[in-house]
Structure 1
Amino acid sequence: MIRKRSSLILCGTFLFVSWNAVLVLLLWGRTPQGQLGNGPRDLALMPTSDVVGDVIRMAESFESELGKQKEILSQILSHQSLWKPRPNRKRPKVNAPGQPVIPILVIACNRVTVRRCLDKLLQHRPSAELHPIIVSQDCGHADTAAVIASYGSKVTHLKQPDLSDIAVRPEHKKFQGYYKISRHYRWAISQAFRNISHSSVVIVEDDLEVAPDFFEYFRALLPVLKSDPSLWCVSAWNDNGRDGYVDPGKADLLYRTDFFPGLGWMLLREAWEELEAKWPASFWDDWMRQPEQRRGRACVRPEISRTLTFGRQGVSLGQFYDKYLKYIKLNSEFVPFTKLELSYLKEETYRSNFDKEVYGAAVVTYEDVKQGQLTGSGPFRLQYSSKDSFKVMAKNLGIMDDLKSGVPRTGYRGVVSFFYRGRRIYLAPPPGWTQYDPTWS
């Protein structure tokens, strides 16, 4: 910008000097009308009083114009500092214009261990301006509020104002916590999009620790999410991402999944405008997994998780935590996602390549996989034909066997991809799969 301005100033200076030089030459080249001769012919050339007046007016006009040009030149010279190089000066560092702001919304309640979450976010955050941290607290827990307040201006602390109990059916009284969580999510996300006017947000819970490339991951995938209407979220989580079930050499590998993973996920304002009006009273995450909300869209998820949960205690009473969640592998290798080519995630390209990879793989039996009798480097396809056969094989192989509206965790077109004893396994339906059966649950 400064270089462009300097060129314009130099061009203006040149035109100014050239114009005045031409004007002066023209005036000097005129017949000297104030100098009279001695002969009769000279008398004939004597100017009349009207001509003399014209010349005087021209001279006065010329003098006035010179004054104006002098003033303009002085203004040009006064801005010399913008285009004349300064010796021994370093240019100030300026953030590149046009970079999107992606806020992090931390959902908090009564865990003082929110400090672990916030410390990691602040440790790995590349820019406070590009990634403001908003902590939305429910529950009114004083000790947790004190922890959040201790970060001062490093975070924005919001407090959910409605702490009242929610009227529920008698049989749902034990689920009161889930109702309050759903109410809090709706309020907090609305604050980020409506009152603070962000266009995207990454939502994390107060019991999540983030990987070193957490911010890099979401910055790289924001344009992918914005440009592909067949996607509706980006998640940092792999439900089957336990150590030994992921390829340690594929930290840069990303997938499309039909299952909403949550646990560190990015949402666009447009998607929230669609969801907010019908937001559920409880169990918001399972509601997100219903076909009415998903509408055939997918999320992006990583091979190796960029979040790790350390919150065993909560409204779910540690469901899945001891068996699965505490063993999730958190990525430790920084992957420069913003420098990678991610167009392979586009729906048509991804689906075509995925189908070739899965259904071109050698078919093996459950016994071969379980007993380690596979030959070759893989990948291998293990086929299921019913809900029961899927659940039996998934459970016995150590991956999550539950389904939500017929969709298995991490599944894409019915296929669950995981690592087992050093080889890639695709637990897949028969060729020709068309759609999920919502009765599978």
Structure 2
Amino acid sequence: MICKRSSVIFCGAFLFITWNAILVLLLWGRPPSGQEQKEAERPSIDIVDGVLRIVDSIEAELEVQKKTLLQIQNHQSLWEPSDRNGPKAAPTRPPVIPILVIACNRVTVKRCLDKLLQHRPSEELHPIIVSQDCGHAETAEVIRSYGNNITHLKQPDLSDIQVRPEHKKFKGYYKISRHYHWALNQVFKTLSHSSVVVVEDDLEVAPDFFEYFRALLPFLKSDPSLWCASAWNDNGRDGYVDPGKADLLYRTDFFPGLGWMLLREVWEELEPKWPDAFWDDWMRQPEQRRNRACIRPEISRTLTFGRQGVSLGQFFDKYLRYIKLNTEFVPFTKLDLSYLKEEMYRENFEKEVYNAPVVRYEDVKQGQLKGPGPFRLQYSSKDSFKMMAKNLGIMDDLKSGVPRAGYRGVVSFISRGRRIYLAPPPGWTQYDLSWS
């Protein structure tokens, strides 16, 4: 736009100078007096024709100048504020959402970074920050090999952590919590970002991973009943999700992790009381959650490939290795996601769950349900929930009374091609903290 403006103004100035030069030449060309003046008073036909040609040329030039000035005026209305309509708003700058990769001693971080770089739509809008703990030289070399495509941070405190004797085997969890605390401070306080998506070095991301989080950022900013968005479905194993619902999103009371977004405001709330260990279970406590929900997808946008770690492969062989990673690109930023707003979502979700016919556990287990569904499978105690969840193949553990992927006590999954809601009785009000 600036180039066009300069060109138009230059042309206008050039024509103005040219016109004035013609006038000067005409004036200079007039005879002064005497014989020449008498001859000028008896113009020949050739001279008259010449004058007429000059006049025509001047009129044509004036018309061109008029059009040029109108063009300048029209362009100027775009460049400058209009008094009638008020000043024109500056174009909105797209938000920058950095990706924080938590790394330690896995050289397989390369698989994580390769996928992030493959699917990243913009280096400027999604800078990748790799924060490395442990001081592992081989892993550091892999990270350095990406050059300017990423930012490589090194956690400076590699000292041992003193823990009570019964927690000696959990020392790795203490180091992870210390690393998270330092890395998130770097993102929000040192680098001054306003949001971040956290992934670990053993995660592979889906093609629409970035699109997913860009669409959900406005919801986190505008809805105080939300405090995170996650790319993960704890019960997202192949066969337990609807492959035709890649665009379906849920609210959940369970903090999923494994590729999650938080805002600087939430970090400012959590940072002063950040725990020494087991940070993810700490996030699931009611004191931190404060009745807020996260957004999670029907089909996961992350896949974990790291069996070995501080958890020693807990859940990996039975559940995590079978998680279905989405392969279909969903244009979330162009979809209407207003159904996720709290009041509307709760009303519609509870209506669908509690209008669904109640079925017996045996019929679900044996695949004897008739009709397309959805169906409601009701539990009434911690033991009945854990028994049915375990035998139907979904995760049966609870954290502070909240089931994985649960919303208001309800867990949604697919069983033999039909939607099942494993739900408490109608009238549910709160989680029982003893169910843990």
2: CA distance between counterparts of 1:142 and 1:83? 58
2:228 pairs with 225, 233, 246, which one? Answer: 233
- For 2:352, which of 342, 357, 369 is the aligned residue? 357
Equivalent of residue 405 in structure 1, options 400, 405, 425:
400
Specify which of 223, 227, 246 is matched with residue 241 of structure 2: 246
Tell me which residue corresponds to 1:153: 148
Q: Could you tell me which residue of structure 2 aligns to residue 99 of structure 1?
A: 94
Q: What residue is the counterpart of 2:207 in the other structure?
A: 212
Report the equivalent of 2:378.
Answer: 383
Q: How many Å separate the matches in 2 of 1:287 and 1:9?
A: 64
Following superposition, the deviation at residue 432 of structure 1 comes to 0.2
**Does residue 429 of structure 2 align to residue 434 of structure 1?**
yes
* Structure-to-structure mapping, 1:173-322, within 5 angstroms: 173-322=168-317
Partner of 1:43: none
Other structure's SS at 2:273 match: coil
How far 1:167 sits from its partner (Å)?
Answer: 1.1
Q: Which amino acid aligns with 1:415?
A: V
Contact 1:239–1:410 under 8 Å retained in 2: yes
1:196 is matched by which residue type in structure 2? Answer: L
Q: Could you list the per-position Cα deviations for residues 132-155 of structure 1 after superposition, in whole angstroms to 9, with x for gaps in the alignment?
A: 000000000000000000000000
User: Does the 8 A contact of 1:244 with 1:421 survive in 2?
Assistant: yes
Residues 238 and 261 in structure 1, CA contact (< 8 A), matched pair in contact too: yes
Query: Who is 1:93 aligned against?
Result: none
CA deviations over 1:159-211 (Å, ceiling 9, x no partner)? 00000111111111111100000000000011000000000000000000000
How many angstroms does 1:224 deviate by? 1.0
Mapping 1:3-82, distance limit 5 Å: none
| Structure 2 residue runs without a partner (length 5+) | 21-64, 77-90
For residues 186 and 256 of structure 1, what CA distance do their matches in structure 2 show? 26
1:110 positional shift: 0.1
Is the contact made by 1:6 and 1:83 (CA closer than 8 Å) also made in structure 2? no
Q: CA deviation at 1:8?
A: 11
Task: Tell me, yes or no, if structure 1 residue 166 matches structure 2 residue 181.
Answer: no
**Structure 2 CA distance, aligned partners of 1:429 and 1:314?**
35
Provide closer, same or farther for how the CA distance between residues 6 and 355 of structure 1 changes in structure 2, counting only shifts above 3 A: farther
Over the matched positions of the two proteins, sequence identity in percent amounts to 84
1:69 matched residue in structure 2: none
User: Which of structure 1's runs of 4+ aligned residues deviate more than 2 A?
Assistant: 1-10
**C-alpha separation in 2, matches of 1:347 and 1:190:** 30
> Structure 1: how far apart are the matches of 2:336 and 2:256?
23
Helix, strand or coil for the counterpart of 1:162?
coil
Which SS does the other structure have where 2:358 is aligned? strand
Distance 1:158 1:300 in 2: 29
Q: Distance in 2 between matches of 1:130 and 1:149?
A: 21
C-alpha separation between the residues in 1 aligned to 2:290 and 2:7? 54
Aligned amino acid, residue 178 of structure 2:
R
Say whether the 8 Å CA contact 1:2–1:83 is kept in structure 2. no
Q: Equivalents in 2 of 1:170, 1:407: separation in Å? A: 30
For 2:161, give the aligned amino acid.
I
Is contact 1:124-1:213 (8 Å) kept?
Answer: yes
Q: For 1:105 and 1:166, how far apart are their aligned partners in 2?
A: 24
What does residue 394 of structure 1 align with?
389
CA distance in 2 between partners of 1:185 and 1:439 (Å):
28
1:97 CA displacement: 4.8
User: Which amino acid in the other structure matches residue 114 of structure 1?
Assistant: V
The answer for the alignment partner of 1:68 in structure 2 is none
The one-letter code of the counterpart of 1:219 is R
Residue of structure 2 in register with 1:58 after alignment: none
Q: Could you tell me which residue of structure 1 aligns to residue 368 of structure 2? A: 373
CA distance in 1, matches of 2:354, 2:109: 44
Classify the secondary structure of the residue corresponding to 1:259.
Answer: coil
Offset at 1:9? 6.5
Report what 1:323 is aligned to: 318
In the TM superposition, what is the alpha-carbon distance from 1:6 to its structure 2 partner?
A: 7.9
Q: Post-superposition shift, 1:426?
A: 0.1
Distance in 2 of aligned mates of 1:412 and 1:6: 59
CA distance in 1, matches of 2:3, 2:106: 53
SS in 1 for 2:407: coil
Could you tell me whether the CA contact under 8 Å between 1:120 and 1:210 is conserved in 2?
A: yes
| RMSD of equivalent CA atoms | 2.5
Shift of the 386–149 alpha-carbon distance from structure 1 to 2, 3 Å rule, reads same
- Which structure 1 residue ranges, 5 or more long, are not aligned? 22-72, 85-95
* Alignment partner of 1:110 out of 105, 112, 128: 105
Question: Whole-Å Cα distance in 2 between the matches of residues 132 and 116 of structure 1?
Answer: 17
Equivalent residues of 1:112, 1:143 under 8 A apart? yes
Candidates 130, 136, 139, aligned match of 1:141: 136
Please tell me the residue identity of whatever aligns with 2:379.
Y
Preserved CA contact (<8 Å) 1:216 1:337: yes
| Count, aligned residues | 369
Instruction: Classify the secondary structure of the residue corresponding to 1:134.
Output: strand
Inter-partner Cα distance in structure 2 for 1:307 and 1:118: 13
Scaled by the length of structure 2, what TM-score is found?
0.81
Residue 63 of structure 1 aligns with which residue?
none
